[in-house]
Amino acid sequence: MGEESEAAEYATQQQSALPVEYLDRHSLATEIYSIDEAFVSLPGSTTEQTAAGRQIRAGVRRNVGLPVCVGLASTKTLAKLANQWAKNNPQFQGVCHWDAASPADRERLLRNLPAQKIWGVGRRNGPKLAGIGIHTAWDLRCADPLKIRRRFSVVLMRTVLELQGTPCITVDESRDHSQILFSRSFVTPATSVRDVGQALSVYAQGAAVRLGKKGLVAGNLNAFARTSSFVAEPMVSHSVDVAFPSPTSDPLEILRAAQQLLPKIREGTPYMRVGVVVRDLSPGGSQDTLMTFADTPDRSLGPLMDAIAERFGRKSIGLGNGGLRSGSQWATRREMLSPRYTTEWNDVPVVRAR
């Protein structure tokens, strides 16, 4: 069963910063991969590293209150495999060192794991690898790195080398910077041009914020709206692709591009999903945020919106009708919403002790 998450929950940086601070104090270096995952460098032997992993796991649980699993290995790819091994096998008690396992156990794990399940391979490369006889992680580990590079890419070659024990992947290289998507399914359809336009405004604003935080600019944008595919009527789908004159993270440019979808929207059609995708991403010249417009004549607007958002909350102001959500009939699906422990007092569990 899938659970839909609240964006605020998984974008809460204060919570994730707590275990990171703890890791920083107990490792030579810390690399943040995602909100719930990090790589750390530990000195010492296999035994000493395993002991340090147990200390870290216990310390994060005790001081931060979060259960974590620790996978240790000579490469990031093998460390992620060790982490999954620790999660799925109680015998490891949450901590697994790849080098501490027997060669036979390691081979057995890799032979039972589909190649596309390996970090950095993905579904797209899975069928292509199968076409040349590589079906399992063990097959991939035994492949010739140079042949993999010629037939696929440098990225996949590095994965092979990592499976063989040669570290060559950095956290930044492993992230997918190819696109940023903001999209939601609605519990109540958006049936008017105004509602679709409002959703586009909200998602364009979110994409601009994400670009600014990552220090990226986008070369083009895709906006789309479609009806449900689970009803008797034929699905209706509209989309538009817009290339920017020059790569941008300017929220006004992004909003104007997204709104080019509106002439295609049919009044009265029950749209169940609307989204904005920014693509062709590259590093920006500066770390722009939503409120710092390089080409906007009235630059006082940015600090003013910043001040309002800081005082009254992030939903108190927005671009266009993206800031006017109270009258919306459409809303994102909430039935499968996970508890928002860090953003809603009412969702915090209550514990009674006797």
Query: pLDDT tens across 309-347, in order?
Result: 556 665 666 666 655 554 455 555 444 445 555 555 556
| Domain 1-101 matches domain 107-175 at the CATH topology level | no
Give the whole-angstrom CA distance, residue 227 versus residue 37.
35
Apex CA 246: angle with CA 237 and CA 179, to 5°?
45
Judged against a pLDDT cut of 90, whether residue 25 lies above it is answered with no
Listed residue (253, 269, 139) closest to 193, CA to CA: 269
pLDDT attached to residue 310: 58
**Which amino acid appears at position 157 of this protein?**
M
- All residues at 6 or more sequence positions from 122 whose CB lies less than 8 Å from its CB, including other chains: 116
Average pLDDT over residues 144-172: 88
Which CATH number does the domain 179-285+296-322 belong to among 3.30.1490.100, 3.40.190.10, 3.40.50.1820, 3.40.50.300?
3.30.1490.100
More confident residue, 36 or 209: 209
Average pLDDT over residues 129-152: 94
End-to-end CA distance of the chain: 35
pLDDT attached to residue 183: 81
Domain ranges of the chain: 1-101, 107-175, 179-285+296-322
pLDDT attached to residue 339: 54
Judged against a pLDDT cut of 60, whether residue 202 lies above it is answered with yes
Two tokens, residue 58 = 């216990």
pLDDT attached to residue 318: 65
As assigned by CATH, the class of the 1-101 domain is alpha beta
Give the whole-angstrom CA distance, residue 127 versus residue 165.
25
Judged against a pLDDT cut of 70, whether residue 234 lies above it is answered with yes
pLDDT attached to residue 256: 94
CATH of domain 107-175: 1.10.150.20
Q: What does 91-136 look like in DSSP terms, one character per residue? A: GGTTEEEGGGS-HHHHHHHHHTSBGGGSTTTHHHHHHHHHTTT--B
Listed residue (81, 55, 52, 57) closest to 69, CA to CA: 57
Task: State the burial class of residue 291 (Cβ atoms within 10 Å of its Cβ: 0-12, 13-18, 19+).
Answer: buried
Judged against a pLDDT cut of 90, whether residue 288 lies above it is answered with no
Place of tokens 């479609």: 226
Judged against a pLDDT cut of 80, whether residue 307 lies above it is answered with no
Helix (H, G, I), strand (E, B) or coil at 3: coil
- Please, which pLDDT band fits residue 176 given cuts at 50, 70 and 90? low
Range of 29-33, 90-94, 303-307 with top mean pLDDT: 90-94
Give the whole-angstrom CA distance, residue 263 versus residue 24.
52
